[in-house]
């Protein structure tokens, strides 16, 4: 349902539906299927089975996690499953997702596993897997693991005696990652005199993020760095950057950095307290790389969610834009397939393949800081002139049933009508979330009021479809009370030029 522009590269196809894996691993409520210790144990066995490259040696797997209470339960179960297959587990403790990707390659492991639900509430958790090259597994590998979870091949391998594996702890995992992050910042520069407010969202970066910026010389004020197992993302971090905004203004800091629960994405705040979104950050970084002759094939890779203004900014600078399905893993897959070196998402996942194999909020913030120092200009000034946003509205709604879009006639008919009305001056995207039970509607166009009305009408059409009798004959979802409807999760974002 996306409206393509003539100069934009084709949008990559969305991933096929799978039973366990979504767009970013397996995710759900901790201790409810599939995020149970029983599934995690079997998943550990499957990971060890698939990751084994040399039958003459034990498979080696790095396991990291964020700060959720349920991480202990899932970590133990995963490690037990891997050890039951004769594997060796290396536990890093709470550490960002990109740190696990880095340690997997640095320690020549066969796989890396992250236990995190990223930006979700603390009651949720998730599991995502990296290959030996530090990249997230492709769909085919995840499908192979899914198949193993439900057949009996794993039950035929039960080593005994010396064949059983063991788990060890990487005591200096955080320090290794801090050194790696600093290596992505030019050795000829420092952050001396730069005021930095960093909010780790009580998540995985609560120790490493303040350390990275402080060791480079910045005057760091850290908030959101007191996890208790239950407060990850709660009124903190990238989901709630208002606290960073307040501190930046109060302290006269040069920049604010808000990370999500696993620190693979970042929300940046300029010295005036204004949020600089992911599209603007991508425009800034991509045009500088383009100017320096370092943007591979003069191409930026992003998703269908990014603003048309970003596409126009790249065209104006002499570059091009390639769009993918939503999810940083699909951005990375397109980058690798096309030979590109920079991409990201509007949400703040920025991937610099010269430095990292996945989104890294700390590394991305360092690249922005380096730009500010090199050009001797404040971030507000750099951001103001880089792109003109097309008004965009995003509506999210939680519905009681997840139905294929082509089985929702009212929504389909209205979507076609809206696309015709927008023409080449706007875009429409309707999709189910890959990590949450939500329908997402994004509308772009030149008239803010008009696209806002379209978004509300589309949400109403979706609710009408779900309220009608299901096409497959399944029982209708129970009618929700007014209070339940009022609690329906909706978020509206309008960006204007």
Q: Would you tell me how many other CB atoms lie within 10 Å of the CB of residue 148? A: 18
Per-residue confidence band for 24, with pLDDT thresholds at 50, 70 and 90: confident
Global pTM value? 0.86
Q: Helix, strand, or coil here: 299?
A: strand
Q: Which of 306, 346, 314 is nearest to 444 (CA)?
A: 306
**Cα gap 130→95, rounded to integer Å:** 15
Task: DSSP for 11-75, please give it.
Answer: PPPPPPP-SS-BBTBEEEETTSTTSSHHHHHHHHHHHHHHH---TTS--EEEEEE-S-TTHHHHH
pLDDT (average), residues 142-166: 93
Pairing status of strand 350-352 against strand 166-169: unpaired
Q: Would you name the residues annotated as active-site residues? A: 118
Query: Cα separation of 464 and 477, whole Å?
Result: 12
Asked if the model's pLDDT at residue 483 lies above 80, the reply is: no
Contact between residue 371 and residue 280 where contact means Cβ atoms under 8 Å apart: no
Instruction: Tell me: pLDDT of 311 over 80.
Output: yes
Q: List domains and CATH numbers for the chain.
A: 26-174 (3.40.120.10), 392-495 (3.30.310.50)
pLDDT at 51 over 50: yes
Q: pLDDT digits over 110-136, tens only?
A: 999 999 999 999 999 999 999 999 999
Reported as a single tens digit per residue, the pLDDT across 223-258 is: 999 999 999 999 999 999 999 999 999 999 999 999
Q: Which residues contact 467 (CB under 8 A, 6 or more apart)?
A: 476
Give me the mean pLDDT over the 154-166 stretch.
Answer: 93
**H, E, C per residue of 341-387:** CEEECCCCCEEECCCCCCCCHHHHHHHHHHHHHHHCCCHHHHHHHHC
**CA 281 – CA 346 distance, rounded (Å):** 9
Mean pLDDT value of segment 10-32: 77
Averaged pLDDT of the chain: 91
């Amino acid at each position: 349902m996306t409206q393509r522009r003539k100069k934009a590269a084709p949008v990559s196809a969305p991933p096929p539906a799978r039973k366990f894996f979504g767009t970013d691993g397996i995710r759900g409520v901790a201790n409810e299927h599939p995020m149970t210790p029983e599934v995690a144990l079997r998943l550990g066995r499957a990971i060890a089975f698939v990751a084994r490259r040399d039958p003459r040696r034990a498979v080696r797997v790095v396991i990291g996690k964020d700060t959720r209470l349920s991480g202990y339960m899932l970590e133990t179960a995963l490690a037990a499953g891997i050890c039951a297959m004769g594997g060796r587990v290396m536990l890093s403790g709470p550490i960002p997702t990109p740190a696990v990707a880095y340690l997997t390659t640095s320690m020549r492991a066969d796989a890396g596993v992250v236990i995190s639900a990223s930006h979700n509430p603390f009651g949720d958790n998730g599991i995502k897997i990296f290959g030996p090259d530090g990249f997230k597994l492709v769909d085919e590998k995840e499908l192979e693991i899914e198949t193993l979870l439900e057949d009996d091949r794993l039950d035929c391998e039960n080593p005994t005696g010396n064949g059983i594996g063991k788990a060890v702890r990487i005591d200096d995992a955080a320090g290794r990652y801090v050194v790696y992050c600093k290596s992505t910042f030019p050795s000829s520069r420092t952050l001396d005199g730069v005021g930095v407010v960093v909010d780790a969202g009580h998540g995985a970066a609560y120790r490493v993020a303040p350390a990275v910026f402080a060791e480079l010389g910045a005057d760091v004020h850290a908030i959101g760095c007191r996890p208790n197992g239950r407060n990850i993302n709660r009124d903190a971090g990238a989901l709630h950057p208002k606290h960073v905004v307040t501190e930046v203004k109060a302290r006269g800091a040069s920049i604010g950095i808000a990370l999500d629960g696993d620190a693979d994405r970042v929300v940046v705040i300029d010295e005036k307290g204004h949020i600089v979104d992911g599209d603007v950050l991508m425009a800034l970084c991509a045009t500088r790389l383009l100017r320096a002759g370092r943007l591979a094939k003069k191409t930026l890779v992003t998703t269908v969610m990014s603003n048309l203004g970003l596409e126009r900014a790249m065209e104006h600078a002499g570059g091009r834009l390639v769009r993918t399905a939503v999810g940083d893993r699909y951005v990375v897959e397109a980058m690798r397939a096309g030979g590109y070196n920079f991409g990201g998402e509007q949400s703040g996942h920025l991937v610099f393949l010269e430095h990292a194999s996945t989104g890294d909020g700390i590394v991305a913030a360092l690249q922005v800081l380096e730009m500010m120092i090199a050009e001797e200009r404040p971030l507000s000034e750099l951001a103001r002139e880089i792109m003109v946003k097309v008004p965009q509205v995003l509506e999210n709604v939680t519905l009681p049933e997840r139905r294929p879009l082509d089985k929702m006639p009212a929504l389909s008919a209205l979507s076609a009508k809206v696309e015709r009305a927008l023409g080449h001056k706007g875009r429409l995207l309707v999709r189910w979330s890959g990590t949450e039970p939500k329908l997402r509607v994004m509308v772009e166009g030149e008239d803010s009021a008009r696209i806002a009305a379209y978004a509300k009408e589309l949400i109403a059409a979706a609710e009408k479809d779900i309220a009608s009798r299901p096409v497959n004959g399944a029982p209708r979802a129970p009618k929700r009370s007014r209070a339940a409807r009022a609690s329906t999760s909706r978020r509206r974002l309008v960006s204007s030029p």
